[in-house]
A and B are shown apart, each in its own frame.
Chain A
Amino acid sequence: MTTTPTANNGVNTEVLLGARKALADEPAGAQFTWRATNEWLHATHTKATVKSYFGLGAEQGHKVESTFEMDHPETFGEEDNAVTPVEYVLVGLGGCLSGGIAAVAQNRGIQLRSVKATIEGDMDILGILGADPDVRNGFNNVRVNYEIDADASEEDIEALVAQSQKRSAVFDIVTNPTNVTVSVTKA
């Protein structure tokens, strides 16, 4: 057995590894439901709220309720009160990958000094405009560029980023299809 050098990236890997072991034997506890609400304000301006989620067999709550406003920019003829929903997808992807990088680095004993990412999604808006049926609505390419300063070789840093993608929920969500059911009731 090799001893892993210690690093402090602030990630509690003991809890993560403990949960992995405990939940493998108690798979029901591993079933989580994440949720957000969304309310229309005006024009394309809406507000989302995130407070509660379900996991470990019970309702759970974040310490604080968070709100996120979304709108569309003036290039779309809108008021640009906030960023667009698709930018939140980029926000989520970057957050998931960077969090994963920190966790994997902690587990591998790699001390991080700085981790910075630029996340870009290319979109042909002829899709959402309905102007060309051959163009999809969503991103046709997503690029994430990391700049990482850490106590490790370039190759080990590349492996960190690759492993983080392998274990990332949002990377999976963006790269794989998911069944989505939207229902509606009249208020």
Chain B
Amino acid sequence: MRTSVVVIGAGQTGLAVSYFLSERDIEHVILERGSVGQSWRSERWDSLRLLTPNSQSRLPGHVYDGNDPDGFMTMTEVVGFLDDYARRIAAPVRSGVTVTSVRRRGSAYQVGTDDGTWDADAVVIATGACNTPRIPAVAEGLPDDVVQVTPADYRNPDLLPEGGVLVVGASASGAQIASEVQRSGRQVTLAVGEHVRVPRTYRGRDLMWWMEVTGRLDERYDDVDDIVRARHLPSTQLVGTPERVSLDLNTLTAEGVRLAGRLAAVTNGRAQFSGSLRNVAKLADLKERRLLEFFDEWAVEAGLDGALGPVERYEPTRIEDEPPLSADFAADGIRSVVWATGYLADHSFVDIDVLDRKGQLKHDGGVVTASPGLYRIGLPVLRRRKSTFIHGAGDDARDITEHLAGYLASVAVDEAECAVG
């Protein structure tokens, strides 16, 4: 089979790329291992909602048109939104096709799947950022009878065994799961490393509204001070709920969650926690405050200071005098561990020398310069801070498609010149 461009993955980024390819009349297919929005369908927990409000559910040529712009979509609603989009733009999705390899064939590409092989001039990998849960090496020391889950297979508290739960990681996933497990009646210990504290709403507006209007989310990858750090930041401690509540460590403490430092080791049936809890909480408090000050300054400059609610500052994170430095799985009755320790993007199907020593794809804003015609979209801060947000897919897809169209044109010129020569 042959086409000009193979897009791998029919999530928001793959569909947005398809939109712009169609706009330019570039022939393409989207190969999708499952159905449109497969990760949203199958790798998310029951209570999860988007962290961005409905007003930011925007894709090129497709916007949320419901009556709750401040609400947050459930996973079913996200899948419905993407399904509608795929239909609306007549995306050429081949469902149930798993890509097993991407190889170079001369100046072109061969994409192997479990349903035949595709030859293409260019390939766009749009397989999402959260393919493989990252489980730290200390997991090897866990007692055999302790149940381990990740946010990709966690569904709800009822599926965890009775007893205490150690949640490792205090980003959006870890904080949300810690909260609902604690509220289900199980004692949660939350191992807290570096995290990003933010309020859900500030001065009456959603955090994501602030992030967008101040231009923070549009900051480009080549303008960010420290791109390595920006790309590895844990997700903000946010939850999307109808009540629009904030979810920070103080909320969790009030619910009864016990805070501990970063999980540093597991030996002889004991978890050992770092003594750095106070500092990671302090770093998060200081960064939150800097962010709020940045918002306040923007509001004054934008002439909106009077139109917004009053300036707010939040109580520093409460840390008990002597946070636990260890926990004994048996003696303390901890029966399960939730690894909310982040994800890695999986590029193991790419049989081209474009991966770094950690197996991550080397790219410049999504352009895989070492292999012309190969592109990636939908990684953290790929081209902008909003690259992994639903409404971030559009601008990145437009840029990538523009570059790709230029590449196809240059290849066509080369071929024409060869034919003449």
Instruction: List chain A positions with a Cβ less than 8 A from chain B.
Output: 1, 24, 27, 141-142, 155, 158-159, 162-163, 165-166, 171-172, 174-177
**10 pairs, A vs B, C-beta closer than 8 Å:** A27-B357, A142-B275, A158-B282, A162-B286, A166-B283, A171-B276, A172-B276, A176-B275, A176-B276, A177-B265
Q: What residues of B have a CB within 8 angstroms of the CB of A27 in the complex?
A: 357
> Smallest distance from the beta carbon of B325 to chain A beta carbons, Å?
9
Q: What residues of B have a CB within 8 angstroms of the CB of A177 in the complex?
A: 264-265, 267, 272
Q: What residues of A have a CB within 8 angstroms of the CB of B262 in the complex?
A: 176
Q: Are A162 and B275 closer than 8 Å at their CB atoms?
A: no
Nearest neighbor of A2 in chain B, beta-carbon distance: B225
Instruction: List chain B positions with a Cβ less than 8 A from chain A.
Output: 194, 223, 228, 261-262, 264-265, 267, 272, 274-276, 279-280, 282-283, 286, 289-290, 322, 357
Q: Are A155 and B286 closer than 8 Å at their CB atoms?
A: yes
Q: With A27-B357, A175-B274, A177-B272 in contact, is A162–B264 under 8 Å at CB?
A: no
Query: How far is it, in angstroms, between the C-alpha of A155 and the C-alpha of B316 when the chains are bound?
Result: 13
Query: How far is it, in angstroms, between the C-alpha of A98 and the C-alpha of B283 when the chains are bound?
Result: 17
Q: Are B265 and A165 closer than 8 Å at their CB atoms?
A: no
Which 3 A-B residue pairings sit nearest by Cβ, starting from the closest? A175-B275, A176-B264, A165-B279
Choose from A158, A159, A163, A165 the contact partner of B276 (Cβ within 8 Å).
A165
Q: What residues of A have a CB within 8 angstroms of the CB of B283 in the complex?
A: 159, 162-163, 166
Query: How far is it, in angstroms, between the C-alpha of A174 and the C-alpha of B274 when the chains are bound?
Result: 9
Query: How far is it, in angstroms, between the C-alpha of A24 and the C-alpha of B276 when the chains are bound?
Result: 25
Choose from B228, B274, B286 the contact partner of A159 (Cβ within 8 Å).
B286
> Smallest distance from the beta carbon of B138 to chain A beta carbons, Å?
10
Q: What residues of A have a CB within 8 angstroms of the CB of B265 in the complex?
A: 176-177
Nearest neighbor of B275 in chain A, beta-carbon distance: A175
Query: How far is it, in angstroms, between the C-alpha of A65 and the C-alpha of B283 when the chains are bound?
Result: 38
Query: How far is it, in angstroms, between the C-alpha of A24 and the C-alpha of B229 when the chains are bound?
Result: 13
Nearest neighbor of B278 in chain A, beta-carbon distance: A165
Choose from A1, A155, A176 the contact partner of B289 (Cβ within 8 Å).
A155
Q: What residues of A have a CB within 8 angstroms of the CB of B282 in the complex?
A: 158, 162
Q: What residues of B have a CB within 8 angstroms of the CB of A24 in the complex?
A: 228
Query: How far is it, in angstroms, between the C-alpha of A75 and the C-alpha of B194 when the chains are bound?
Result: 41
Query: How far is it, in angstroms, between the C-alpha of A123 and the C-alpha of B357 when the chains are bound?
Result: 43
Q: Are A176 and B274 closer than 8 Å at their CB atoms?
A: yes
Query: How far is it, in angstroms, between the C-alpha of A159 and the C-alpha of B280 when the chains are bound?
Result: 11
Query: How far is it, in angstroms, between the C-alpha of A177 and the C-alpha of B228 when the chains are bound?
Result: 27
Query: How far is it, in angstroms, between the C-alpha of A56 and the C-alpha of B329 when the chains are bound?
Result: 41
Nearest neighbor of A176 in chain B, beta-carbon distance: B264
Nearest neighbor of A141 in chain B, beta-carbon distance: B322
Q: What residues of B have a CB within 8 angstroms of the CB of A174 in the complex?
A: 275
> Smallest distance from the beta carbon of A44 to chain B beta carbons, Å?
28
Q: With A159-B286, A176-B264 in contact, is A1–B223 under 8 Å at CB?
A: yes
Query: How far is it, in angstroms, between the C-alpha of A177 and the C-alpha of B276 when the chains are bound?
Result: 12
Q: What residues of B have a CB within 8 angstroms of the CB of A155 in the complex?
A: 286, 289-290
Query: How far is it, in angstroms, between the C-alpha of A163 and the C-alpha of B280 when the chains are bound?
Result: 9
Q: What residues of B have a CB within 8 angstroms of the CB of A171 in the complex?
A: 276, 279
Q: What residues of A have a CB within 8 angstroms of the CB of B280 in the complex?
A: 166
Query: How far is it, in angstroms, between the C-alpha of A153 and the C-alpha of B146 when the chains are bound?
Result: 48
Query: How far is it, in angstroms, between the C-alpha of A159 and the C-alpha of B261 when the chains are bound?
Result: 19
Nearest neighbor of B261 in chain A, beta-carbon distance: A175
Q: What residues of A have a CB within 8 angstroms of the CB of B274 in the complex?
A: 175-176
Nearest neighbor of A158 in chain B, beta-carbon distance: B286
> Smallest distance from the beta carbon of B297 to chain A beta carbons, Å?
13
> Smallest distance from the beta carbon of B357 to chain A beta carbons, Å?
7
> Smallest distance from the beta carbon of A64 to chain B beta carbons, Å?
33
Q: Are B272 and A166 closer than 8 Å at their CB atoms?
A: no
Query: How far is it, in angstroms, between the C-alpha of A165 and the C-alpha of B281 when the chains are bound?
Result: 12
Apart from A163-B283, A174-B275, 8 more pairs, CB < 8 Å = A142-B275, A155-B286, A159-B283, A159-B286, A171-B276, A176-B262, A177-B265, A177-B267
> Smallest distance from the beta carbon of B214 to chain A beta carbons, Å?
15
Query: How far is it, in angstroms, between the C-alpha of A97 and the C-alpha of B335 when the chains are bound?
Result: 38
Nearest neighbor of A165 in chain B, beta-carbon distance: B279
Q: What residues of B have a CB within 8 angstroms of the CB of A165 in the complex?
A: 276, 279
Q: What residues of B have a CB within 8 angstroms of the CB of A141 in the complex?
A: 322
> Smallest distance from the beta carbon of B282 to chain A beta carbons, Å?
5
